[in-house]
């Protein structure tokens, strides 16, 4: 029975980590309309920086890496989040300054592959393709728990991070920044004409999503105890994209639902299907990717809004008055817009006459 409980807790860790990733990518793609395929590279940098600030000094005979310090938890998690933010800040100037729409996807895919090859072919950075191993789990010696209780403890850590991320994203969606990002997603030119700085609004969303990705990477490496390029190839980023498409773009609850459907129910659960007959582990892995691709295509064809569509935004009374949908209370007046060439003037009209 303890084996099943341990397995269920493992799935819980993956679910909450992918919730963080889904919420961050939802801010980029669902709300701001940024086509970023390199999001998992931010996860990787967060994982690497969290690992090298936990492992201690490097030993070239075992594994070589930069920095090599050992700081108290939760500082490595914060370092991982900062690494994701810094990476997104640097790459954002490449992705967002002049590139739009499908060109962003093409360039980010190329950059993700370049980063993957750069890290793998330079052993001095993070031990090359062999990766880092022996990363200690947080507070393991302090809490001194058996494997199953410690697994539950780590699930609590990831759940707390995911809930904080969800609460933060809920505030962002309802904030003026969220309204600006939705306007930019619909039409950048119109948003720019109304005086909005499109680049810095998208950059803000990009950095926030990169921070959440770096935090998720720190949680992953502390849970797995190891990290290598084989675990963050460009294909891994497709899991997050598929989860958001299926769960529902521009919907935080949809992002969480997609994190359960794709990374947990399809990707992780099927990885434990035992081989049978001519079907081996490699065949099961191939069928898993085929299944994810087919499901994404079906959703894009029949239900592009996902399981949970973007919620309709309701304006406050003062906002409805300003767009002429509600009369001014007690006055019977509407505030409407009259256009004269390129100038817009607000005119109060009395609808009671």
Same domain for 227 and 333, yes or no, is no
Is residue 226 within 8 A of residue 62, CB to CB? The reply is no
Same domain for 176 and 86, yes or no, is yes
- Token pair for 47: 């994982």
User: What's the structural domain count of the chain?
Assistant: 2
Is residue 190 a part of any domain in this protein?
Answer: yes
Is residue 310 a part of any domain in this protein?
Answer: no
The position carrying tokens 């947080």 is 138
Is residue 307 a part of any domain in this protein?
Answer: no
Alpha carbon distance 88, 205 (integer Å): 10
- pLDDT value of position 279: 66
Same domain for 193 and 330, yes or no, is no
Same domain for 292 and 323, yes or no, is no
The CATH number that applies at residue 9 is 1.10.3470
- pLDDT value of position 315: 54
User: pLDDT digit of tens for each residue in the chain (353 aa)?
Assistant: 577 888 889 999 999 999 999 999 999 999 998 988 888 889 999 999 999 999 988 877 788 899 889 999 899 999 999 999 999 999 888 888 888 777 888 888 888 889 899 999 998 899 999 999 999 989 888 888 888 899 999 999 999 999 999 999 999 988 999 999 999 998 888 888 888 888 999 999 999 999 999 999 999 999 999 999 988 877 788 889 999 999 999 999 999 999 999 988 888 777 666 666 666 667 777 888 888 999 999 999 999 999 999 887 665 554 444 444 444 444 444 444 433 333 433 333 333 33
- pLDDT value of position 231: 83
Is residue 157 within 8 A of residue 139, CB to CB? The reply is no
- In sequence order, what are the residues at sequence separation of 6 or more whose Cβ sits closer than 8 angstroms to the Cβ of residue 313? 179, 182
- pLDDT value of position 353: 37
Omega into 74 within 30° of 0, i.e. cis?
A: yes
- pLDDT value of position 273: 65
Q: Which domain holds residue 141?
A: 2-302
Same domain for 23 and 120, yes or no, is yes
Q: What element of type H or E holds 340?
A: strand 333-340
DSSP result, 269-293 = GGGGPPPBTTB-HHHHHHHHHHHHH
Same domain for 180 and 323, yes or no, is no
Alpha carbon distance 6, 2 (integer Å): 6
Instruction: List beta partners, residue 126.
Output: 65
Same domain for 327 and 298, yes or no, is no
Same domain for 174 and 248, yes or no, is yes
Same domain for 39 and 109, yes or no, is yes
Same domain for 345 and 234, yes or no, is no
Verdict on whether the full-model pTM lies above 0.75: yes
Helices (H), the chain: 2-25, 39-52, 75-95, 102-120, 123-126, 140-143, 147-174, 176-186, 188-193, 198-224, 234-247, 252-259, 281-302, 317-322
State the chain's maximal CA–CA distance in angstroms: 89
Is residue 25 a part of any domain in this protein?
Answer: yes
Structure-derived torsion over alpha carbons of residues 111, 97, 187, 203, reported in degrees to the nearest 10: 80
Alpha carbon distance 299, 307 (integer Å): 9
Q: How far is CA 49 from CA 82, 134, 164, in A?
A: 9, 14, 22
- pLDDT value of position 19: 94
Same domain for 111 and 240, yes or no, is yes
Q: Is 199 helix (H, G, I), strand (E, B) or coil?
A: helix
- CA-wise closest residue to 45 among 86, 74, 75: 86
Same domain for 155 and 272, yes or no, is yes
- pLDDT value of position 268: 79
Residue 177: half-sphere exposure toward Cβ, Cα within 13 Å: 17
SS3 string, 148-182, reads HHHHHHHHHHHHHHHHHHHHHHHHHHHCHHHHHHH
């Amino acid at each position: 029975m303890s084996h099943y409980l341990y397995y269920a807790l493992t799935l819980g860790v993956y679910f909450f980590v992918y919730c963080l990733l889904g919420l961050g990518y939802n801010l980029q793609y669902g709300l701001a309309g940024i086509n970023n395929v390199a999001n998992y590279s931010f996860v990787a940098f967060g994982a690497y920086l969290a690992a090298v600030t936990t492992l201690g000094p490097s030993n070239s005979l075992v594994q070589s890496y930069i920095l090599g310090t050992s700081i108290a938890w939760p500082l490595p998690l914060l370092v991982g989040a900062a690494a994701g933010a810094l990476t997104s800040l640097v790459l954002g100037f490449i992705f967002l300054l002049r590139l739009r729409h499908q060109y962003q996807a093409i360039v980010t895919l190329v950059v993700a592959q370049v980063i993957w090859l750069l890290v793998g072919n330079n052993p001095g950075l993070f031990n090359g393709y062999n990766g880092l191993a022996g990363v200690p789990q947080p507070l393991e010696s302090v809490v001194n728990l058996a494997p199953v209780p410690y697994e539950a403890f780590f699930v609590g850590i990831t759940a707390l991070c995911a809930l904080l991320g969800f609460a933060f994203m809920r505030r962002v969606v309802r904030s003026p920044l969220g309204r600006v990002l939705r306007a930019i997603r619909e039409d950048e030119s119109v948003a720019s004409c109304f005086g909005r700085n499109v680049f810095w609004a998208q950059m803000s969303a990009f950095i926030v999503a990169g921070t959440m990705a770096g935090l998720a990477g720190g949680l992953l490496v502390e849970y797995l105890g190891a990290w290598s390029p084989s675990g963050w190839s460009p294909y891994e980023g497709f899991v997050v994209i598929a989860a958001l498409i299926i769960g529902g773009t521009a919907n935080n609850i949809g992002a969480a639902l997609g994190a359960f459907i794709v990374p947990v129910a399809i990707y992780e659960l099927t990885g434990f299907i035992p081989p049978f007959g001519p079907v081996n582990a490699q065949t099961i892995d191939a069928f898993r990717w085929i299944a994810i691709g087919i499901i994404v295509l079906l959703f894009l064809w029949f239900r592009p809004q996902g399981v949970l569509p973007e919620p309709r935004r309701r304006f406050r009374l003062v906002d409805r008055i300003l767009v002429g949908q509600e009369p001014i209370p007690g006055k019977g007046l509407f505030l409407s817009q009259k256009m004269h060439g390129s100038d817009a003037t607000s005119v109060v009209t009395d609808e009671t006459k």
